[in-house]
Amino acid sequence: MLLSLFKTASAAAKSETRGHLCLNSLTRLYAGSRASGIEGISLECRQGEFVCVVGPSGCGKSTLLNLVAGMLKPDSGSVVLDGVEVRGPGPDRAVVFQDHGLFPWLTAAQNIAFGLKMAGVPRSEREERVQQALAMVHLESSANKLVHELSGGMKQRVAIARALVMDPAVLLMDEPFAALDAQTRTLLHQQLQDLWIKTRKTILFVTHSVGEAVRLADRIVVLHAHPGRIRRVVNIELAHPRNFDSRDITELVHLVRKEIEDEVNRINSEASEFWKPASAAGVDSDTFCLGDGI
């Protein structure tokens, strides 16, 4: 039977019961440095919640996401999804990275179908699910294009479709739009917001862009750096779909950005000679992104 991948918003809200994610005192420090990695992170994501993790470069966002994906093992603590401890990668967690990671010798449709094929899904069901996935990211007319024929934004949309077509309980996204221009990013924010409203997947989204987080998230987790710990959790109590140009969004962006600037200043004041981060003045106030230097 065809898995109910794409439901109407109300049907999805009623029937999706998966996606309750718990991070329990999660610690992963890298050898040779006690300050790299993450330490003691506890976080619970409700089913269907959109949670963004923000923080400066190097604060441990990807480490956190890779632990949830099962690609890294924790030193201590655990990740529990729907009552089952994560012990490695699995189809219940799909990941979208900044680098789309598509196979260049396959078309958009074939890339989306790849995981289904590996999972032994019969051809007719595969084709139907791929068509639905393409429609969700508005790429029906590009189904037969090769990767080099797609724009950067289209490639990321194929990557999102490839993740969603597997019907994961949780969608994990690691700076998926960071390499795109501002206009394309805004378009993809709108599309991701629509997708999330339709599917009600739990999404854990990592970004260094405060603006992106405020646009998309129900809850923003701001990380401390070195080692990564939770500094503050901000609830974004604005209804979806959001108007990204609203004053509420702008005000919240300033609030969360201030948190991170404070963190950059704290790191600066504690930095040793061999590790000197850039100053908070490097924070880009136009795009609400953090500088690269920390």
Interface with Mg ion (CB under 5 A): 61-62
- At how many degrees (to 10) do helices 182-199 and 152-164 cross? 20
Among 20, 21, 39, 63, binds ligand ADP (CB under 6 A): 63
Say which entry of Mg ion, ligand ADP, none residue 277 contacts (CB below 5 to 8 A, set by partner kind).
Answer: none
Q: Half-sphere exposure of 130 toward its Cβ, with a 13 Å CA cutoff?
A: 22
Please choose, out of 11-19, 41-49, 54-62, 266-274, the segment that lies near ligand ADP by the rule CB under 6 A: 54-62
Q: How far apart are CA 156 and CA 138, in angstroms?
A: 12
Task: Tell me the closest approach of the beta carbon of residue 56 to Mg ion, in angstroms.
Answer: 10
236 counts as binding ligand ADP under rule CB under 6 A: no
Task: Tell me the closest approach of the beta carbon of residue 16 to ligand ADP, in angstroms.
Answer: 29
Q: How far apart are CA 250 and CA 248, in angstroms?
A: 5
Task: Tell me the closest approach of the beta carbon of residue 227 to ligand ADP, in angstroms.
Answer: 8
142 counts as binding ligand ADP under rule CB under 6 A: no
Task: Tell me the closest approach of the beta carbon of residue 108 to Mg ion, in angstroms.
Answer: 26
153 counts as binding ligand ADP under rule CB under 6 A: no
Residue 228 CA to its chain's centroid (Å): 17
Is 60 or 168 the residue whose CB approaches ligand ADP more closely? Answer: 60
Amino acid at 63: T
The answer to whether the beta carbons of residues 226 and 267 sit under 8 Å apart is yes
Is 36 or 62 the residue whose CB approaches Mg ion more closely? Answer: 62
Which residues partner with 93 through β-bridges? Answer: 170
Q: How far apart are CA 59 and CA 3, in angstroms?
A: 38
Looking at the chain, the number of H-run helices and the number of E-run strands are: 8, 10
Please choose, out of 39-47, 53-61, 250-258, 276-284, the segment that lies near ligand ADP by the rule CB under 6 A: 53-61
Residue 173 CA to its chain's centroid (Å): 2
Residue 277 CA to its chain's centroid (Å): 25
Is 53 or 150 the residue whose CB approaches Mg ion more closely? Answer: 53
Among 19, 48, 60, 153, binds ligand ADP (CB under 6 A): 60
The alpha helices in the chain, defined as continuous H runs, are 9-15, 61-69, 108-118, 123-136, 152-164, 182-199, 210-216, 247-270
Is 150 or 280 the residue whose CB approaches ligand ADP more closely? Answer: 280
Among 12, 20, 37, 136, binds ligand ADP (CB under 6 A): 37
Is 48 or 56 the residue whose CB approaches ligand ADP more closely? Answer: 56
Residue that the structure tokens 């590996």 belong to: 118
Say which entry of Mg ion, ligand ADP, none residue 132 contacts (CB below 5 to 8 A, set by partner kind).
Answer: none
Please choose, out of 1-9, 58-66, 195-203, 213-221, the segment that lies near ligand ADP by the rule CB under 6 A: 58-66
Q: How far apart are CA 73 and CA 267, in angstroms?
A: 27
Enumerate binding residues for ligand ADP (CB under 6 A): 30, 36-37, 55, 57-63
